[in-house]
Every structure is written in structure tokens, then in C-alpha cells.
Chain A
Amino acid sequence: MAHAAEAVHHAEATTTGLNHRKLLMWVFLGSDCLFFGALIATYMVYRGQSVNGPYPTDILNIPVTTISTFVLLCSSFAMVQALAATNRNDQKGIKIWLLATALLGTTFLLFQAYEFYTFSIGEGLYIYTNLFGSTFFTLTGFHGAHVTLGVVWLMSLFIIAFKGRLGPSTALDVEIAGLYWHFVDIVWIVIFTLVYLIGGYDAGPAATGVFIGPLSSVLPV
């Protein structure tokens, strides 16, 4: 049967043997790496450059964010389980693990909402307050948007699973969502390390402890 393009997902013969959509997702994730790379670079370049507070050391709550990071890591575990369940056609398992992944992701988002709320209403750090506010909310906000999209995607899969239409023959649908989900998870590990663990005690430009300083010290001077 002659089929063009993406017509047949499961029995598609491609030059490399790799499915089109899976390859697409990998290349897209490469692209997204550069997106987050540029956002993270902006954050790092502007570390310690805010001319007024609040500074990270004043407001970042590392214990709380550690918990939310743990939650997000757990969601990756649940994602792996969901794919495994799909591959062995464990209909109950698919639903449970997909739902678990989505719920853990949602929990992470709730933590982030709580964080944004306390920082802004509580501590007076808005996106326009200083450089820290601008870079912090933009970086974590775009990550949060990625997580939100992932949750929507997982919920759509959950609905499909509920109709009993996920199984070994459609495992690729779950796998691709998983690729995305793990990527978003890994990006958060980088953000958490750089912004919270390493940069969490940053203060204003005069304060010490800035290991990546102004633009002129990262980029060749």
C-alpha cells in the first residue's frame, strides 16, 4: 500500500528506521535546548547585577523549591512507568501512571504559583522591579509554561487512554510525550542548580559570592 508521509505511524518505513514524529521531537528538543540555553545565559550574565532589591538571598526559599523539584523528578518516574504500562498493554497501569505524572506536574505548578505569589504580593518582587525579577520570572515562567503544556498533553493522553485506545501499537504517542516531559524535567534540574543552589545567596552588585559576574567577565573582555 503506497502511503505518503505520516499516514501510517506504526508501520512506517523510514530511511533511518526512526519514526518521523520521534525524530521531529528530538530535533525540536535540540532547538528548545538553545531556547533555554539563551534564557539561562541571560540569567547568569545578570546575576548580581540588580541595582536594587529584593535580591535572591532575600526571598528564594530553597527548602520549599527542593520539595517541588523532588515532585517533578518523581513525575519523570511516573512517566517511565506509564510508558512501560503502555508497552505491556496494562490498561489500568496506563491510566494510573499517566494521571500520576500529570498530577505531579500540576503539583509542581502549584508550588510555582505559590512561589510567584509570595515573591510578588508578599515580598514586592515583580517582573519590573529589578533585573533579578525580570530574569527570574522570565526564566522560570517559560519553564512553567513548558510544564503546563506538558500537563495538557498528558491529560489528552489520559483521555485517550480512558477510551482504551492506548496500547503497544500506540506506545509511540506516549513515548514522544515522555521525551518532552523528561526534557522539561532535566531543564528544571539545571535551573534549580544554577538559580537556587548556586545563585540562591546572590545579593546586589556590591555583595560578594558572584562567581559569574557581569557580562564582561563571562564573555571575553
Chain B
Amino acid sequence: MATITGVLARPTAYSGVWSWLTTVDHKRIGVLYGSTALLFLLVAGLEAGVLRAQLARPDNTMVDGKTFNAMFTMHATTMIFMAIMPMSVAFFNFVVPLAIGARDVAFPRLNAFSYWVFLFGALLMHASFVVGQVPDAGWFSYANLTSRAFSPNSGLDFWSVGLLVMGSSSVAGALNFVVTIVNMRAPGMSLWRMPVFVWMTLLTSILLVLAFPVITVGLIELTMDRNFGTNFFNTTAGGDPVLWQHLFWVFGHPEVYILILPAMGIVSEVLPTFSKKPLFGYPVVIFSGIVIAIMGWAVWSHHMFTVGLGPVANSVFTITTMLIAVPTGVKIFNWIGTMWGGSLEFKTPMLFAVGFIALFIIGGLSGVSHAVSPSDFQQQDTYYIVAHIHYVLFGGSIFGVFAGIYYWFPKLTNRLLGEGLGKLHFWLMFIGMNITFFPMHFAGLDGMPRRIYTYPAGYGWEIYNMISSFGYLLLFIGFLVFAHNIFRSLKKGQEAGHDPWDAPTLEWSIASPPPAYNFAEIPHVRGRDHYWIVKREAQAAGQPAPGPEPLAAPGSVHMPSPSYWPLVTAVGVAWIGGGLMIHFDLPYIKFPISFLGGLIAFIGVVGWSNEPTSAPDAHHGGHGAAQGAQH
């Protein structure tokens, strides 16, 4: 044991590159997730730019079909798996331990491992651009277009192996958050006192844990079909391409809620804060979240109404899908109920939260119209669907994410993001989003199929596409304004203080940025909106509002030490995937390389399990009142 751990001296750096590579601090890992996600948001946004440029005019020949297909495939895959999901995970990481009064997540090294595996998986998939064989079968890559016969180059191998690697990261991360939320709440924080964002994190994590294995099996089957000659989706051997659709959407529909529930959680935090009023109908909001998470498993075939499952199946999925609109609608009413009678202050986070509600209503309504399968027979696979998904994922998830960034950035950095720039950003996004995506409803109802790289003049689609492409420019400028705001605020943003918004939750009771250990003393939670209770009591008693919790004496709080092993293990896992990527014609290279990856991962795991969480020579101060643990 000592021999293996002794190979690498325990990292000790708390700043510099090495400190980031070996960090196990949930806040720093959150920053890593967040910045990576924003980078991929930019990449996917640029890919969307190619799509909009190509479609701006009829009969455009800027790119060919192959490039166009690659662009929309990577745009969607990147947005979903490498931008929105990791952005949500960034918030899970940064916010959840702070909001439940914990010092870190349950498994800090597993958390670091999740990030590195995600990063390497994303890079692996993007390596497809380097070799010029980019995935091009759409983000749900329907079999049997994905078989070697119809997609001979390695693009889809990058896609499936990349997703497998990222999937293992998601499951590892989600396991961690389930345990953290179930097991590490501060005393007094019962489930019914948890902030809504934490609840939504819990539900999202459970969905991740249960949904990802299903797509993992689908991806394994696809990878084996393409590389080992199996017959899962081989139609000449009796394989059924529709099996892929079932596996994909059994995962894919919960995935939709994986993308939207965190944003709903963020909005449920932002609205009460800026309305100065607790969330309206907290139990109902939580309960509808639970209902959505359960019913999300019973609606997958609404993506497959035109597959020919027959009227009985289509009826069942029509009804279940329409019913899932009820808890979603209830949430919207509760958010409006929160604002009703409140004292609304339209800071940027609030603007994005209200924008979320306004746009999500549209996405929800158009969703109902294609939940109705007879009506969906006309809308399926048209731009109407593209409009819907963007109202839900852009107007929904991304607006929620931006609300969260503006809301928690001051906690992370002790600096406020610029309000003026923030508002400009919001309006560019809000207007640009509607100009880009609203005309797509019309294009779709006028019969424009999605995923076509060109269309002739005279079909009546020109005007809508031109407007959409113009809207893209606004969105892009909006993103630049946002990026500028971030960099500007990091350098010379206004100091935020520990509680700039008079917020109700625990994370605002400590200093900004939070110390490594978060809470010097683990708080005793006195109710929902704990920090409001504390502050208003002080106010009622005529005392000044409480300041941030004083910092602990140096070394008095024992925290997990940084570690190399998560990174080493992640390199091994990604290496296995990379080895599998080498084309089947070279099995004698492929397997040794993958084996080497397995060896690296194995060494990582052994080192990891033999290494104590905290370095033995770390300080053991005498600070008391932790979680009751005794030595």
C-alpha cells in the first residue's frame, strides 16, 4: 500500500495548475465544470452558426450535406452532453454542499474523477474533427443509418465511445450527489426544508443514475455492431432498428428532464429571493418535480409516434405525455404565485428567471400540440419540433443556467456581474431567441423537415429561415456581451459582499468566496429559508443584519487532501475508450492500447483506495461542533 501511494508524493499545492489538476474541492470542481461547459457552449453555438448561415438562403452551397449533417449532430450532442448537462453539474457542485450545510460532497475524489472523465470523453469526441471523421447521424443517431454499411467512417465510433466515457462520468457524479444530499444535510435540514434546487438536483441525479445505464447498453450494442460484427441492429440478420429507438428514448426522455429540472430548481431559488417572498406552494413544486421524474419514464414513445406502433400504443403515450404537462403547468402557476403580491426587483438573475417562465410556457404549449399524436404526424421531424426543443432547452435550460450564473457568481467570486451588461445580455438573448426560434414554428407547419441541408426557393420557407439566421446574430452578440461581462467583472467587478441579494438559503450566510471548508461551524437549520429566518429575527430584535460567518482558525477544520489518483484513473478510462477508437482493421494495436488504459485505470484505483482521504500529516485542529463525528 505505502509502496504504491509512495510512487507519487501526495500533492500539496493549493494554487497553480497542479492544484487544479489534483483538487477535490467541490467548489473548484464546479468551476472546472462550469468553464468547460461555457467553452463547449461557444463551440456548439459556432456550429449552429454554420447551420444558420447555410440555411439563410435557399439553394445555398456554402457547405455540403455531409458537413451540414456533422454540424447539426455535433451542435446538439455538444449542447446537450457537453454544455447544458455539465453546466447543471457545475451548479450541483458549487451550490449543493453549500446549500445543505456540508463541507464537501460525500466522495470528493470521485467527484474529481467525474470531471476528468467528462473532460476526456468530450475531448475524445471532438478528436473526430482532428481526423476529419465527424459524427453525422443526428444526436439520436437512429440505427441502422449508424451501421458500418451506411456510415463507413469512424465518426460514429467517436460519438458512441465518447458518449460511453461521458456517461460513466455522469453516473459517477450523480451517485455522489444522491449520497451527498441524502446523507450530508446539516442538522435540522429535513427533506421538507431542502431548497428546491437541492431537491431538483436529487431528482436529476436519480434520473441520471437510472437512465444512463439504458443508453449505455444501446451504445455498447452500437459500438459492438460497428467494431465486432455483432448483429443488434443488422437488419439482414434479423436485427430491429426500432430497438435502438426504444433504448435511446427510454433514456432520452428522462434526459429531457435531466436537462430542465436543474434549471427549474435555479428559477425556484431566484424568484423568491427577488420577490422577497417564499416560494408559493413549496410542497406542490417538489411533488410535481417528483411526479415529472416518475412520469418521465412513461412517455418515451411520443418521440416515436410515426414509427408505426399502432393506435393503441400511440393513444397510451398521447395520454401519458399530455398528463405530464399538468405537473409542469402547476410549477409555472406556482412561480407566478411566488411573484404575486411580492416585491419584485428585476436584477439580471430575476430577468432570466422570468424570461425562463415566459419562454417555457411557449415550449410547454407547443409540446402539448405534438403530444397529440394525430397532430404530431404532421409535426414530427419538422422545424416545428426544432422550435419546440429550443424553446424548452434554450428558453428553458439555458435561461435557467444564465439566471444561476448571475445569481451565484457573486458567491463564487465576491464580485457582482455588471447589471447594465447583464440586462443588455438578457434582452439580446430574449429578443434574439424569439427571432431565431419563433419563425421555426411557421417553417415547420409549412412543411420544412428538419435536418435538410438545403431547400429550393418557392416552398415559402425562405423568409422564416432568413429571419432565424438574423436572430442567430443577436444571440451570438448576446453571448459575447456575456463573456465580456464575466471577464470584466472578474477583473474589476463591484464587490458583492456575502449576501448581495438578501437571499434565503444557507450558502449566503458564509463569506464570499466561501472558505475551502465552507462552514466553520455546521449550522443548525431552523426552517425552510433558514437564512431569512435568522436575518428577520435580527431585524425584529432591532439588531443589525448578521454578517458572514467568521472564518475558522487556520488548520482547525480537517478537509480532504488533493489527490492525483482521480486524474490518473480518468486518464486510464479515457485511454480505454481511445484505444477502442482505433479501427477494427488493426486489432493488434487496438487491444494492447485499450489494455494499457485498463492498466492505468487499475493502478489509479489501487492508489486511490490505498490513499487516506486526508493526508495523515494534515492538521488535526481542535475545532469542535462538526457533524458530531468523534475520534
Contacts from A to B (Cβ < 8 Å): 1-8, 11-16, 18, 20, 23-24, 27-28, 30-32, 34-35, 37-39, 42, 45-46, 49-52, 127-128, 130-131, 133-135, 138, 142, 205, 214-215, 219-221
Contacts and interface: CB of A to CB of B under 8 A. Distances in A.
A5 B108 contact: yes
A7 B231 contact: no
Q: Which 8 A-B pairs have the closest CB atoms?
A: A220-B313, A2-B626, A128-B229, A35-B213, A38-B217, A134-B230, A4-B103, A34-B213
Contact of A34 (B214, B228, B612, B614): B214
Interface in B610-631: 612-614, 620-621, 623-631
Contacts of A45: 240, 243
Between A134, A135, A138, the greatest number of chain B beta carbons within 10 A of the residue's beta carbon is seen for: A134
Contacts of B457: none
A60 B228 CA distance: 23
B630 A11 contact: yes
Interface string B543-563: 000000000000011111000
B408 to A, nearest CB: 21
B359 interface: no
Given A133-B230, A219-B309, 19 more contacts: A1-B631, A2-B629, A5-B184, A7-B613, A7-B629, A11-B631, A20-B179, A34-B211, A35-B214, A38-B216, A38-B247, A42-B243, A45-B240, A51-B236, A130-B231, A130-B237, A130-B238, A135-B232, A220-B310
A5 B626 contact: no
Nearest to A128: B229
Nearest to B107: A6
Contacts, number: 188
B452 interface: no
B221 A4 contact: no
A16 B625 CA distance: 19
Interface of B: 102-108, 171, 175-176, 178-179, 182-185, 189, 209-214, 216-218, 220-221, 224, 228-232, 236-240, 242-243, 246-247, 250, 301, 309-310, 312-313, 316, 517, 556-560, 612-614, 620-621, 623-631
Contacts of B221: 42, 138
B448 to A, nearest CB: 31
A128 B230 contact: yes
Contacts of B623: 2
A24 B109 CA distance: 14
Given A2-B556, A7-B614, A138 B230 contact: yes
A11 B629 contact: yes
Contacts of B621: 2
Given A18-B183, A127-B230, A128-B228, A220 B238 contact: no
Contacts of B316: 220
